[in-house]
Structure 1
């Protein structure tokens, strides 16, 4: 059997510890809560790495999931997607303003860089085939479209679901080095299924412009003058073009603010973070004042910068699949 396989299950712990165990195991992805005090959390994760992705099976009882701004920053998985084939049970909720319902046979897409909430319902045990893959892989096959909250059904879902199920069945018998080649297989079938579904997908953004804009933001994030006017001039595009490219993200100004807040949060809570004044940190991270930072931070994270510093919750990990793999193995028996 492939020794790289992850096996995490609430059955491996004392029932009294199951809730805390399952919250910890699933925390990189979402905050998990039971539906009531008389319904303890139950679930399992069985997965294998394939290249830069993880693929496997998850099970669950009825429970609630929340991916909020704080967890997005802490998890370090903000450039990843979760793609799930619903085998048993149902998922429904809100993906950053997009309402969704996924039933057996459907395939769901969630961008881990954006917020969402979901109710997972199961009469006995729900089950999904789950792929964790880089945004660059998923959105390359969607031709740059954001698929957050998208639910595929019918023929497109059948194509992708059968592929993912076949990969999951084959992987335990392969050498870990050979398993990495299956990422290309999944990418190819993802391209086919999204191609079939293309008429029902959102309009395509200008993907090359998005790439250039993200690179520009990274290079100039701490400059207070960074904004639509500066970017339009530097990238030789109109405001309308820039807005269309980031319409699914709420506009370019919101993208810049989120990136700056992410930087501030990490500076406040990271290991060895300097005891810098909030006012100095605001200036260094591109905010015009301490007041502007405090207001935006409270709106985004539900706490003040000072409270975040006092809490000192450490980041969970980073986008590296290898590190996530090691973290999940910590919960394996």
Structure 2
């Protein structure tokens, strides 16, 4: 591709490679490697920015990748992804379910939700796409989070073949071709997710997607408003309580969804390293908590740390650099990879 790409070569063994690997995947994963595997660990990754998507060609020794609620909140990456396992085995745990992944299988992932991936030595192709690129705003991928498309099934084989072709050709696309390829991939993944979602007899699943996306966008815009409530959403969108509850059932319910989005936004506010820092009490009241104590209890239950811990960590790290569009990166310069992810457009 005539555009920026990043490369991490696995030419060194052990701790040096582990440190570089953790830095490279930091926007997406907390990485855990068994102590006994540390001396022999190797990793290799080549990543291409397509303008409206990112594709990564990776290989590594056995490890555990986790997206905890804390990481989801801290990084603010809210895209969707698909990973094709080329070699090696894995187990994915997401949305309360567990499933094996083998060569040729494709896992569908919603990066706004937690998940855990245990892998043997592996090789994989991963594509990361912003929600806005999907015909239904990624709602189907949200419902299909953690689903595995099997290589032995015809449609799973189709998706697998498409991702293999994307990986083979990505380095040779023109920028215009890269964007079209990403759009086609989003359409195919949306259709694949649709095949995994149970629908009612008259097929309302696809009809629910635009409403769910619109309401989720509204919640994100109004997340700091004291007026945001089930009643306010029903009035705003002309839906009944029961219809609203059905829409959000795959996401744990609308009240739970609002609660987690508020806590995630609070986490990012506390972790903000530029500008004047807000007090914990101010953030607690901003997101609807009656007292700093109740906010701290809910925050610790969600993320395993206190608001004060997050605030202190941000203060210790100092001011973060201002982000100014797509970084000019090449070779092994992974410092701006997070910016790459955030500059994806639809």
Q: TM-score range by the shorter chain?
A: 0.7 to 0.9
Tell which deviates more after alignment, 247-256 or 229-238: 229-238
- Structure 2 match to 1:259: 261
TM-score normalized with structure 2 length: 0.83
- Whether the aligned pair in 1 keeps the contact of 2:46 and 2:58 (CA below 8 Å) is yes
Paired position in structure 1 for 2:42: 42
Q: Size of the alignment, in residue pairs?
A: 323
Distance 2:66 2:87 in 1: 20
Check if 1:227 corresponds to 2:223: no
Are the structure 2 counterparts of residues 21 and 263 from structure 1 closer, same or farther at C-alpha, using a change threshold of 3 Å? same
Q: Show structure 1 runs of 4+ deviating over 6 A.
A: 314-321
Relative to structure 1, the CA distance from residue 309 to residue 141 in structure 2 (aligned partners, 3 Å threshold; closer, same or farther) is closer
TM-score when scaled to structure 1? 0.85
Is contact 1:144-1:207 (8 Å) kept? yes
SS in 2 for 1:118: strand
User: 1:317/1:149 Cα in 2 relative to 1: closer, same or farther (>3 Å)?
Assistant: farther
Provide the aligned C-alpha RMSD in A: 3.0
- Residues 140 and 317 of structure 1: CA distance in aligned 2, closer, same or farther (over 3 Å): farther
Secondary structure class of the residue paired with 1:99: strand
Q: How does 1:198-209 map to 2 (within 5 A)?
A: 198=195, 200-203=196-199, 204=205, 206-209=208-211
Partners in 1 of 2:51 and 2:91 — Cα distance? 30
Closer, same or farther: CA 328–19 of 1 in aligned 2, 3 Å: same
Distance, in Å, in 2 between the alignment partners of 1:90 and 1:61 is: 11
What residue number does 2:281 align with?
A: 279
**Distance between the aligned counterparts of 2:216 and 2:324, measured in 1?**
19
SS at match of 1:144: helix
Give the distance between the partners of 1:18 and 1:250, measured in 2 at CA.
Answer: 38
- Aligned partner of residue 232 in structure 1, secondary structure: helix
Please state how far the C-alpha of 1:202 moved relative to its aligned partner.
3.7
Q: Structure 2 stretches of 5 or more lacking a match?
A: 200-204, 336-346
1:330 aligned partner: 333
What's the CA shift for 1:87?
A: 1.1
Query: How do 1:68-217 residues align onto structure 2 when only pairs under 5 Å count?
Result: 68-78=68-78, 80-122=79-121, 126-138=122-134, 140=136, 144=140, 146-153=143-150, 154-191=153-190, 193-194=192-193, 198=195, 200-203=196-199, 204=205, 206-217=208-219
> Relative to 1, partners in 2 of residues 1:232 and 1:314: Cα closer, same or farther, differing over 3 Å?
farther
